[in-house]
């Protein structure tokens, strides 16, 4: 193999929705995906690179906003404060949008593809490249699983190296698939950093500018000559967004190929084999996509051919009452399991031998069905009767449960009333006791008063009564706090 390419693509999307819908390759949910070989699912890998994602997100995005808010609050610049990172990001995106005319002639905001989070796809070569590598390693005595496991290890190493290399981007989790077309990894990519004002990055282009912005390029005039200043030095400019992405993809694609090639060379050495890996070559993303589309179309045709052969085998087996496998023989007189076109050309021949017996078999099945139909109807009627009885029992059970709830509520109400009545009786008894004491006090007062009146000692009586009231007041009054002694006055 002369050369092989790596390809890197990113797009805005929800990683967790992609994970639930595709990344785990659950055959029960997605068995209609012809690209996936579920027998090799165990070779796929999943790695989480940020254990505490909430803390990672807070440190990179929310904390810088809180720090900026604190400075703005201190300076009373309340209009420059933000609720959170999402509020800041949305305002920045809206401020950078250009207005355009809608169909009704009114100004509308243009959409903006900006986000700190991206879905990343790292792919190693094409499907044809992978098949050739499998053949090469099979000739060296390696199994398909051993080769695919080495490729998966190389892709995993690439993601690890990606996180080590980049200071403003990180793949927080990734899945590697080697059972679907060409080997590739799906990553949950976050870009982060601070701009010159201390605000967090809200788009991957800012991270690319921070890492690749120093790769200047000489300016050229309209004649294709380099521009120079008055001292004769080249006039350089910073790369634009397209050039930033080109630098990023060149570095990343090369890392994909180098990481996987390293593992393949290491695998060959385990059996003392010399393996020259394919060199890295550049391909446009469109070319890589076209190769994958061709592979998907071939895969779809292959699956359709298998379904056709399976259906013919089933029809043949029903017609003859035995399991029969339809295959081509060398003389091409009958069907062989080779290509979709040959299958379709042989269909009329097979149907000529199959249709009439198949129709007869279907007629027998229909007669048998007619014989069994009365019993089926009887069973259905019995089932309906049982369902009706079950419904009545359920209704009765529900009614009894409701009556039970009503009785329980009444019992609770009676117990509550009994408790309240007992409290009222106790309060009344206390009232009677207090009232009796008052009456006795009044009788005693009148008796002492009349005695002193007869003796002509009413003045003494009133004085004595006033003294008793003062003593009672002093005994019940709270003592006044002592005043603090602050020393002699100056």
pLDDT digits 0-9 by tens, 205-216? 999 999 998 887
**Residue 419: is its pLDDT beyond 60?**
yes
Residue 64 CB partners (closer than 8 Å, separation 6+):
194, 198, 199, 200
Query: In the predicted model, what is the mean pLDDT of residues 322-344?
Result: 50
Query: In the predicted model, what is the mean pLDDT of residues 352-373?
Result: 75
Query: In the predicted model, what is the mean pLDDT of residues 220-236?
Result: 77
255: tokens are 């890392």
pLDDT reported for residue 331: 43
Least confident piece of the model among 40-44, 111-115, 417-421, 471-475: 111-115
Spell out where 219-262 has E strands.
236-237
Query: 436 pLDDT band (50/70/90 cuts)?
Result: confident
Most confident of 10-24, 83-97, 139-153, 351-365: 139-153
% of the chain residues with pLDDT over 70: 75
Domain ranges in the chain? Answer: 3-27+34-94+112-283
Q: What is the pTM for the complete model shown?
A: 0.57
pLDDT reported for residue 329: 44
- Each residue of 295-321: b (16+ CB within 10 Å) or e? beeebeeeeebeebbeebbebbebbee
Q: Which helix (H) or strand (E) holds 184?
A: strand 184-191
pLDDT reported for residue 441: 78
Query: In the predicted model, what is the mean pLDDT of residues 46-63?
Result: 94
């Amino acid at each position: 193999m002369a050369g092989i390419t790596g390809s890197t693509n990113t797009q805005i999307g929800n990683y967790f929705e992609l994970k639930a819908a595709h990344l785990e390759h659950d055959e029960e949910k997605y068995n209609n995906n012809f690209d996936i070989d579920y027998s090799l699912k165990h070779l796929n890998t999943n790695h989480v690179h940020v254990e505490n994602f909430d803390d990672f997100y807070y440190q990179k995005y929310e904390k810088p906003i809180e720090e900026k808010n604190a400075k703005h609050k201190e300076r009373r610049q309340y209009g420059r404060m933000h609720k959170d990172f999402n509020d800041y990001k949305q305002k920045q995106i809206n401020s950078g949008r250009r207005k355009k005319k809608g169909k009704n002639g009114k100004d509308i905001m243009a959409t903006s593809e900006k986000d700190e989070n991206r879905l990343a796809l790292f792919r190693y070569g094409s499907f044809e490249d992978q098949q050739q590598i499998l053949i090469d390693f099979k000739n060296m005595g390696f199994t398909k699983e051993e080769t695919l496991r080495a490729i998966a290890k190389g892709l995993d190493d690439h993601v690890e190296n990606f996180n080590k290399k980049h200071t403003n981007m990180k793949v927080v989790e990734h899945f590697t698939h080697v059972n679907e077309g060409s080997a590739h990894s799906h990553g949950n990519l976050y870009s982060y950093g601070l701009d010159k004002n201390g605000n967090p990055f809200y788009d991957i282009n800012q991270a690319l500018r921070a890492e690749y912005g120093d790769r200047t390029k000489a300016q050229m005039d309209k004649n294709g000559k380099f521009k120079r200043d008055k001292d004769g030095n080249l006039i350089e400019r910073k790369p634009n967004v397209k050039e930033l992405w080109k630098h990023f993809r060149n570095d990343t694609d090369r890392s994909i190929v180098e990481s996987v090639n390293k593992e393949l060379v290491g695998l060959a050495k385990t059996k003392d084999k010399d393996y020259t890996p394919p060199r890295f070559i550049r391909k446009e993303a469109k070319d890589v996509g076209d190769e994958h589309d061709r592979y998907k179309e071939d895969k779809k045709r292959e699956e359709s051919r298998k379904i056709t052969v399976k259906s013919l085998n089933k029809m043949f087996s029903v017609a003859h009452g035995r399991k029969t496998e339809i295959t081509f023989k060398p003389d091409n007189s009958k069907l062989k399991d080779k290509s979709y076109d040959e299958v379709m050309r042989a269909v009329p021949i097979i149907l000529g031998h199959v249709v009439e017996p198949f129709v007869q078999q279907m007629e027998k099945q229909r007669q048998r069905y007619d014989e069994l139909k009365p019993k089926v109807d009887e069973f259905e009627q019995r089932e309906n009767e049982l369902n009706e009885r079950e419904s009545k029992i359920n209704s009765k059970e529900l009614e009894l449960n409701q009556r039970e709830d009503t009785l329980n509520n009444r019992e609770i109400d009676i117990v509550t009333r009994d408790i309240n009545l007992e409290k009222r009786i106790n309060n009344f008894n206390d009232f009677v006791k207090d009232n009796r004491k008052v009456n006795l006090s009044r009788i005693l007062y009148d008796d002492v008063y009349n005695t002193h009146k007869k003796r002509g000692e009413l003045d003494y009586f009133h004085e004595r009564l006033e003294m008793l009231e003062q003593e009672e007041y002093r005994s019940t009054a709270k003592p006044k706090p002592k005043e603090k002694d602050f020393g002699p006055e100056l």
